[in-house]
Structure 1
Amino acid sequence: MATQCDETDPDAATEQLRTALTRARIVFPSLGTDYGSTLGLVNLGRVHPAVAVRLAFRLDKGHDA
Structure 2
Amino acid sequence: MDRIEEVESVTKELRNTLARAGIVLPSLGPDPVSCANYAMLPLVELGRCTMDVARRLTDALGER
TM-score (norm 2): 0.55
* Correspondence for 1:29: 26
Structure 1, unaligned runs of 5 or more:
1-6, 47-58
| Aligned counterpart in structure 1 of residue 12 of structure 2, from 15, 31, 34 | 15
TM-score (norm 1): 0.55
CA distance in 2, matches of 1:30, 1:45: 8
Structure 2, unaligned runs of 5 or more:
49-59
Question: 1:29, 1:45 within 8 Å by CA — same for their partners in 2?
Answer: no
Whichever of the two has the greater Rg, that structure is 1
* Higher share of residues assigned helix: 2
Report 1 or 2 for greater relative contact order, CA contacts < 8 Å, sequence distance ≥ 6: 2
Tell me whether 1:44 sits opposite 2:41 in the alignment: no
RMSD of aligned Cα (Å) = 2.4
Paired residues, what number? 43
CA distance in 1, matches of 2:26, 2:32: 17
